């Protein structure tokens, strides 16, 4: 795989200088165009030590305007990072639309080192790479331009390079004992690299192998690679935007994205026994018992550093707020955070839609409650046409992958759909209208959503079908009776925590 | 001071229940009003262990809608917190406008414990409290409602309370060995508390001493205290907003805030020798030398964990971008972040204006470059009337305090004003107009700003006068000659780093 990167290709100083000034202007102009584009650029640098990874990043910072570039290199994890799933640190550093992020020792680093040193086997290595592929696909699907540069040096060339760096008084600090240790593992590294590159070179995020020996040659390869890909991508995104404008249903959509014709099929919600209820006395006892259990379990979870994520979805007026308050009441306010999900802020809008949820994940031992969640993508955004067809369709996979990362990290995850019947909703809307201190809860939008009940119901059905997995099942809550619903919610949370905490 | 909080005041269950339902509705309605108000509420809980601090926070979470409350309790600092000035952790947790933040063991905690245990003396204690006062004043001046509750128990009452908690199987976890250790230090704690409360009970952030023995009494005190203060504050802010609307100069201000009459006085900028220049050869040599120094110093700084903050202000077209690139070129891209300051995002607009700068402070050993900065408050915001008179006037003090915290934390801080003459600016504007790949740099706004040159010059003069301190001096850079300016900037940074790093 690397034979073509050991040809000793060179660019003379004269050749380089001839190209330089025009190329610099081109790059600066492209960056200006990018600044108002609707996607970020993600550059990944990896490869052999001494092959010019850091130098390439510095060069980009020098040739482009560094104000619109985020550069990140990852060393050991901070404790705030350790307390979240592995990819949290990468999500939080992602560049917003219009900017460039350059990444070194990033999501490839741990799987690479672990496989190269024999700490993990083939199967685990492939699993880790699947995670990488899914991550990059998620970003690329959202429009990100991802370019990955593998900087290569042959074994002897690397040795020569390290030796020459060591001799240079200004550069010798770059060479550490670890570099030499890595050099001794050269063959194992190359074997790992071949496998990694072959596996993760996918259409939406290709590797470019760069011969790293000659700094002018390698600089031109990186710069021209970025220039060409960025030009093409700007063109491509313009075309996508045009198509979308033509086909997309806006806020004023004439017809919902889901045709009403299919709306009379039975859904998973039809299977619920909506007559379930608790009388006041049974409620008080059950609520007390379950809140007591929850309080004890959360103290244990806090001690052990086990985090909990609760997701609340449901019809308007289904009682999400009330259920959430019954949960939080059992918990110490210091260890719980309720995140209300409404319209995204502009910082959130400049990122992948999952970014706003990643950023809210709490530290170890905390409970994070989402009042509405990432499922908005396949519910309101789908039904109202805020997300394009391909966007909400691929969201099922993205969400499964996101939740899988939470669960694999040891987080207790519960997802609730609070279900009420259409009649019950009407009764609650009317009661809200009549109660002064509740009337703020009822908006025009609630009435509008109600008109699309059947369409929403189909969306809910598909959501449950596609995202209720063994590791992250949905709990459908029969919520016509608030008391029954609240007890069911708290009991479910307590059971889930107990299962993990033992 | 605490005698009135040891009276054994009680509220009976019947009395409490009589008040409860009306009070709950009142609180929920107030919270709804707050949600669209232009200020946050900051609640501080402190006091004797067992006096109901945590319980009060839980109660608020229960009575109010927890979705609009942020609850924070501080234990040991995470490594990401340790690498920034002490108050970074509090700034990042501040609630945005419209929300409530409840804080426990927060900015009072360290000074309190250190003085109570004898680790710091009177003078240092007072200095620390001055920092607290300045912090709260900064927030209150911006509109925040700050309420501080000191939960009190007499010595015997505390002993009784700890014992009774210990006996309760559900509550015994609340009592730790540390609580008993603290109880033994009761007298010293009370002495410290009296001093702390007396010193930090200021009009904009008063302490309320709450007798903590009876949970109904203490709950009512906290809840009614919040209700009354919040009602008053909502009223007060409405009045302020009205006055401001009447007196404030908007974007279309008829006359600038600084009257042009004073605009002909000589300013500190007039004292600069604008003829200073470097020829190409001298520039290359000097630039190389200074960039070399800087590169070596930054490696050392990175190893030692010493951070650097660089602030660039100056006339439009004065060469800020070019100077910044000459600085970053000498640095490893992985350790530097350039922060361009333009219009705030909506998340930033929902906070104190300094919040957006606090959030950008990098981890230990990094260089953070601000391309424009917090000085916008006393420059563009002042001149264009975006900040009210009192807002920019108090900004001088707020900025001095902010910078003082950076320097005290060991951060190397350099502030540059890049000065060019009015003629030179015109020449550069015209050249930008004529150069295709530079024309994006020139906007209508640049021409508009130019018309107010004299007004800006007065603002710059006052800025330097008020914020060039011994610990955080301004460097005025004669920038008619770009080469001279760039070398002066880099040399100044290198000198400043050398002074700290030795």
Query: Which of B291, B309, B294 shows the shortest CA–CA distance to B411?
Result: B309
Task: Give the pLDDT confidence score for residue A447 in this predicted structure.
Answer: 92
- The CA distances from residue B310 to A348, B340, B376, in Å, are 28, 12, 15
Q: Would you call B324 an interface residue with chain A, using a CB distance cutoff of 8 Å?
A: yes
A/B interface, count of CB pairs below 8 Å: 119
Task: Tell which of B84, B333, B351, B373 to mutate to test the A interface (max A CBs under 10 Å).
Answer: B333
Q: Is the pLDDT of residue B263 over 60?
A: no
Lowest mean per-residue pLDDT among A28-42, B153-167, B369-383: B153-167
Confidence of residue B261 (pLDDT cuts 50, 70, 90): very low
Contacts of B334 by beta carbon, 8 Å cutoff, 6+ apart: A54, A57, A71, A72, A73, A104
Query: Which of B72, B142, B118, B350 shows the shortest CA–CA distance to B134?
Result: B142
Q: Would you call A340 an interface residue with chain B, using a CB distance cutoff of 8 Å?
A: yes
Greater confidence (A174 vs A73) lies with A73
The CA distance from A291 to A300, in Å, is 14
Task: Show the tokens assigned to A230.
Answer: 């960025």
Q: Is the pLDDT of residue A395 over 60?
A: yes
Task: Give the pLDDT confidence score for residue B248 in this predicted structure.
Answer: 53
Helix (H, G, I), strand (E, B) or coil at B53: helix
Q: What are phi and psi of A78, to 5 degrees?
A: -75, 165
| Cβ within 8 Å of A, B 426-445 | 437, 440
DSSP one-letter code for B257? S
Task: Show the tokens assigned to A114.
Answer: 């672990």
- Contact between A333 and B65 using a beta-carbon 8 Å cutoff: no
Q: Would you call B360 an interface residue with chain A, using a CB distance cutoff of 8 Å?
A: no
CB atoms within 10 A of CB A80: 16
Confidence of residue B321 (pLDDT cuts 50, 70, 90): very high
Query: Which of A148, A139, A70 shows the shortest CA–CA distance to A109?
Result: A148
Task: Give the pLDDT confidence score for residue A455 in this predicted structure.
Answer: 94
Lowest mean per-residue pLDDT among A1-10, A297-306, A378-387: A1-10
Q: Scanning every residue of chain B, which has its alpha carbon at the shortest distance from the alpha carbon of A343? A: B346
- B126-152 pLDDT, tens digit each: 999 999 999 999 999 999 999 999 999
DSSP string over B344-380? PPHHHHTS-TTHHHHTTPPPTT-EEEEES-GGGGGTH
Shortest distance, CA B133 to any CA of chain A (angstroms): 25
Task: Give the pLDDT confidence score for residue A247 in this predicted structure.
Answer: 63
Q: Is the pLDDT of residue A477 over 60?
A: yes
| Pair A335, A302: CB distance under 8 Å | yes
| Cβ within 8 Å of B, A 164-193 | 170, 173
Contacts of A468 by beta carbon, 8 Å cutoff, 6+ apart: A415, A474
**Which chain B residues have a beta carbon less than 8 Å from that of A70?**
337
Q: Is the pLDDT of residue A250 over 60?
A: no
Residue carrying structure tokens 């110093």 = B297
Contacts of A457 by beta carbon, 8 Å cutoff, 6+ apart: A263, A267, A269
Q: What is the mean pLDDT of residues A451-460?
A: 94
Confidence of residue A264 (pLDDT cuts 50, 70, 90): low
DSSP string over A349-371? HTS-TTHHHHTTPPPTT-EEEEE
Helix (H, G, I), strand (E, B) or coil at A220: helix
B187-206 burial: b if 16+ Cβ within 10 Å, else e: eebbebbebbbeebeeeebe
- B449-461 pLDDT, tens digit each: 999 999 999 999 9
Nearest beta carbon to residue B80 from set A57, A80, A337: A80
Q: What is the mean pLDDT of residues A265-291?
A: 94
Q: What is the mean pLDDT of residues A141-146?
A: 96
DSSP string over A114-151? HHHTTSS-HHHHHHHHHHHHHHHHHHHHTT-EEEEEEE
CB atoms within 10 A of CB A409: 17
Lowest mean per-residue pLDDT among A285-299, B259-273, B383-397: B259-273
Q: Is the pLDDT of residue A153 over 70?
A: yes
Q: Which domains does chain A have, with CATH numbers?
A: 3-246 (3.40.50.300), 266-501 (3.40.50.300)
CB atoms within 10 A of CB A93: 14
Task: Give the pLDDT confidence score for residue A170 in this predicted structure.
Answer: 73
Q: How far apart are the first and last CA of chain A?
A: 49
Residue carrying structure tokens 């935007």 = A241
| Pair B400, B382: CB distance under 8 Å | no
- Contact between B332 and A54 using a beta-carbon 8 Å cutoff: yes
**Which chain B residues have a beta carbon less than 8 Å from that of A32?**
440
User: Edge-to-edge strands of the sheet including A412-419?
Assistant: A336-340, A367-371, A308-314, A412-419, A474-478
Query: Which of A466, A398, A358 shows the shortest CA–CA distance to A135?
Result: A398
The CA distance from B83 to B364, in Å, is 5
Task: Give the pLDDT confidence score for residue A174 in this predicted structure.
Answer: 78
- Contact between B333 and A437 using a beta-carbon 8 Å cutoff: no
Q: Is the pLDDT of residue B250 over 60?
A: no
DSSP string over A241-273? HHHHHHH---TT-SS-SS-GGGGGS--GGGGS-
The CA distance from B259 to B262, in Å, is 6
Q: Is the dihedral of CA A184, A185, A191, A193 positive or negative?
A: negative
Q: Is the pLDDT of residue B185 over 80?
A: yes
- B279-303 pLDDT, tens digit each: 999 999 999 999 999 999 999 999 9
Q: Which residues pair with A416 in a beta bridge?
A: A312, A475
The CA distance from B303 to B295, in Å, is 13
Helix (H, G, I), strand (E, B) or coil at B32: helix
Q: Is the pLDDT of residue B420 over 60?
A: yes
Task: Give the pLDDT confidence score for residue B243 in this predicted structure.
Answer: 79
- A26-70 pLDDT, tens digit each: 999 999 999 999 999 999 999 998 899 999 999 999 999 999 999
Q: Is the pLDDT of residue A230 over 60?
A: yes
Shortest distance, CA B173 to any CA of chain A (angstroms): 9
Q: Would you call A342 an interface residue with chain B, using a CB distance cutoff of 8 Å?
A: no
Angle at A250 between CA B347 and CA A141, to 5 degrees: 70
Decide the pairing of beta strands B145-152 and B41-47: parallel
CB atoms within 10 A of CB A232: 11
Task: Give the pLDDT confidence score for residue A263 in this predicted structure.
Answer: 56
- The CA distances from residue A24 to A233, B190, B439, in Å, are 19, 67, 16
Q: What is the mean pLDDT of residues A238-248?
A: 77
**Which chain B residues have a beta carbon less than 8 Å from that of A295?**
170
Q: What is the mean pLDDT of residues A17-32?
A: 92
Q: Scanning every residue of chain B, which has its alpha carbon at the shortest distance from the alpha carbon of A439? A: B29
DSSP string over B210-229? EE-SSHHHHHHHHHHHHHHH
Q: Torsion over CA of B116, B122, B123 and B125, rounded to 10 degrees? A: 20
Confidence of residue A256 (pLDDT cuts 50, 70, 90): very low
Average pLDDT of the residues of chain B: 92
- Contact between B333 and A57 using a beta-carbon 8 Å cutoff: yes
Q: Which residues pair with B484 in a beta bridge?
A: none
Task: Give the pLDDT confidence score for residue A114 in this predicted structure.
Answer: 95
Confidence of residue A437 (pLDDT cuts 50, 70, 90): confident
Q: Is the pLDDT of residue A261 over 70?
A: no
Confidence of residue B5 (pLDDT cuts 50, 70, 90): confident
Task: Tell which of A30, A65, A67, A303 to mutate to test the B interface (max B CBs under 10 Å).
Answer: A67
Task: Give the pLDDT confidence score for residue B264 in this predicted structure.
Answer: 66
Q: What is the mean pLDDT of residues B175-193?
A: 91
| Cβ within 8 Å of B, A 299-318 | 299
- Contact between A334 and B72 using a beta-carbon 8 Å cutoff: yes
Task: Show the tokens assigned to A72.
Answer: 């990140």
Contacts of B42 by beta carbon, 8 Å cutoff, 6+ apart: B94, B95, B100, B101, B103, B139, B144, B145, B146, B147
Q: Is the pLDDT of residue B258 over 60?
A: no
- B467-497 pLDDT, tens digit each: 999 999 999 999 999 999 999 999 999 999 9
Nearest beta carbon to residue B58 from set A79, A324, A332: A332
Task: Give the pLDDT confidence score for residue A262 in this predicted structure.
Answer: 53
- Contact between B371 and A67 using a beta-carbon 8 Å cutoff: yes
Q: Is the pLDDT of residue A340 over 50?
A: yes
Does ipTM surpass 0.85 in this model? yes
């Amino acid at each position: 795989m690397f034979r073509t990167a050991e040809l000793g290709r060179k660019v003379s100083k004269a050749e380089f200088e001839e190209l330089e000034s025009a190329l610099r202007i081109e790059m600066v102009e492209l960056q200006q165009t990018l600044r108002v584009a609707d996607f970020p650029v993600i550059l990944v640098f990896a490869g052999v030590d001494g092959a010019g990874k850091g130098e390439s990043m510095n060069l980009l910072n020098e040739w482009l305007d560094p104000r619109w570039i985020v550069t990140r290199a990852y060393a050991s994890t901070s404790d705030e990072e350790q307390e979240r799933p592995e990819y949290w640190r990468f999500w939080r550093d992602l560049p917003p639309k219009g900017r460039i992020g350059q990444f070194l020792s990033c999501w490839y680093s741990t799987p690479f080192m672990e496989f190269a040193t024999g700490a993990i086997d083939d199967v685990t290595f492939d699993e880790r790479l699947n995670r990488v592929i899914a991550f990059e696909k998620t970003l690329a699907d959202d429009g990100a331009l991802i370019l990955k540069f593998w900087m290569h040096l042959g074994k002897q060339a690397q040795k020569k390079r390290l030796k020459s760096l060591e001799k240079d008084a200004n550069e010798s600090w770059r060479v550490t004992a670890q570099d030499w240790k890595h050099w001794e593992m050269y063959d194992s590294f190359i074997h790992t690299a071949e496998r990694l590159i072959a596996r993760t070179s996918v259409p939406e995020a290709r590797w470019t192998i760069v011969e790293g020996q000659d700094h002018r040659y390698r600089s031109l390869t990186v710069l021209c690679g970025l220039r060409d890909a960025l030009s093409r991508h700007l063109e491509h995104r313009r075309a996508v935007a045009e198509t979308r404008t033509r086909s997309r249903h806006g806020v004023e959509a004439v017809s919902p994205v889901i045709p009403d014709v299919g709306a009379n099929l039975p859904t998973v919600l039809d299977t619920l026994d909506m007559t379930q209820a608790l009388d006041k006395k049974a409620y008080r006892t059950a609520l007390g018992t379950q809140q007591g259990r929850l309080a004890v379990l959360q103290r244990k979870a806090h001690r052990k550093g086990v985090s909990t994520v609760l997701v609340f979805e449901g019809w308007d007026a289904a009682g999400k707020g009330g259920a959430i308050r019954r949960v939080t009441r059992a918990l110490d306010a210091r260890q719980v955070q309720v995140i209300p999900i409404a319209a995204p802020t502009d910082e959130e809008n400049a990122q992948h839609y999952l970014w706003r949820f990643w950023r809210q994940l709490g530290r170890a031992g905390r409970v994070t409650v989402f009042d509405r969640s990432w499922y908005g993508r396949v519910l309101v955004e789908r039904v109202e046409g805020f997300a394009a067809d391909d966007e909400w369709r691929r969201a099922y996979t993205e969400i499964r992958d996101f939740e899988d990362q939470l669960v694999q990290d040891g987080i207790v995850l519960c997802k609730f759909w609070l279900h009420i019947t259409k009649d019950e909703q009407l009764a609650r809307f009317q009661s809200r209208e009549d109660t002064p201190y509740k009337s703020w809860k009822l908006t025009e939008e609630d009435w509008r959503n109600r008109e699309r009940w059947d369409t929403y119901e189909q969306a809910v059905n598909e959501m449950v079908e596609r995202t209720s997995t063994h590791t992250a099942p949905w709990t459908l809550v029969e919520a016509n009776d608030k008391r029954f619903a609240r007890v069911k919610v708290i009991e479910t949370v307590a059971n889930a925590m107990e299962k993990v905490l033992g």
